[in-house]
Chain A
Amino acid sequence: AQSVTQPDIHITVSEGASLELRCNYSYGATPYLFWYVQSPGQGLQLLLKYFSGDTLVQGIKGFEAEFKRSQSSFNLRKPSVHWSDAAEYFCAVGEGDSSYKLIFGSGTRLLVRP
């Protein structure tokens, strides 16, 4: 069965520092990949998605992610974290060749030190 693994439950970074959140997926073909952010008490907001083409994807709020087929990874990065980035981040993959039936990872909670 397909799965998504986010190995880091919590990550703490200092404001202004760089950030990388890890995501690994299992799927034989090229998947549809997504990163969502969830602020406390809120629904999910799409940060970026990869469907095909350029493996470096730019998203909102200064985030980017790189699809690496050889490593089955889709890590999320940001060069300089702001205090407002503190939230929970979810990686998701489309089930099979679907772009709308999503399988989510268990999430990474980001804490930002002043």
Chain B
Amino acid sequence: NAGVTQTPKFRILKIGQSMTLQCTQDMNHNYMYWYRQDPGMGLKLIYYSVGAGITDKGEVPNGYNVSRSTTEDFPLRLELAAPSQTSVYFCASDSLPGQGLDTEAFFGQGTRLTVV
């Protein structure tokens, strides 16, 4: 069981370039999330999705876009990369948050992105 898989693990971008961070989960979870983690800080929610075809903004969505065409995949798109987007990005998925103590969010191992 692979869980939540993120690719790539590391990437260096030049200012103004664009890229897509891939996230896929094989647990048939409806809820998926993208977070960023800056050094010495907690995670901040970028975008989330409660099911295929449905996405919504989180706390820090500017400079990012997402899509959710399938249950499994939730790619994060960076357009016109900026140094402020240097961070570690985590994707997560959840089945039925809030429905019981046996549900939890599963996190990928992260993508470390540097914009120079």
Per the bound structure, the CA–CA distance linking A99 and B104 in Å amounts to 10
Check B53 for interface membership: any CB of A closer than 8 A. Answer: no
Check A87 for interface membership: any CB of B closer than 8 A. Answer: no
Provided the pairs A100-B31, A100-B97 are in contact, do residues A43 and B109 lie with their beta carbons within 8 angstroms?
yes
Residues of A within 8 A of B41 (CB): 106-107
Per the bound structure, the CA–CA distance linking A12 and B62 in Å amounts to 37
Evaluate contact between B31 and A90: CB separation under 8 angstroms. no
**Number of A-B residue pairs having CB atoms within 8 Å of each other in the complex:** 61
**Total chain B interface residues with beta-carbon distance under 8 A:** 25
Residues of B within 8 A of A9 (CB): 40
- Most B Cβ at <10 Å: residue of A90, A100, A106: A100
Interface string of A92-114 (1 = CB under 8 A from B): 10100011111111110000000
Give which listed residue, B40, B58, B104, B110, contacts A101 with CB less than 8 A.
B58
A65 CB to nearest chain B CB (Å) = 13
Residues of A within 8 A of B42 (CB): 4, 90, 92, 103-107
Residues of A within 8 A of B94 (CB): 100
Give which listed residue, A49, A100, A103, A105, contacts B59 with CB less than 8 A.
A103
Check A70 for interface membership: any CB of B closer than 8 A. Answer: no
Provided the pairs A90-B42, A101-B58, A104-B43 are in contact, do residues A43 and B90 lie with their beta carbons within 8 angstroms?
yes
Evaluate contact between A100 and B4: CB separation under 8 angstroms. no
Per the bound structure, the CA–CA distance linking A51 and B104 in Å amounts to 12
Q: Which residues on B are within 8 Å of A, measured CB to CB?
A: 4, 31, 33, 40-45, 48, 50, 58-59, 90, 92, 94, 97-98, 101, 104-105, 107-110
Known contacts A32-B98, A102-B43; can you find 5 more A-B pairs with CB under 8 A? Answer: A41-B110, A42-B110, A43-B108, A44-B105, A94-B98
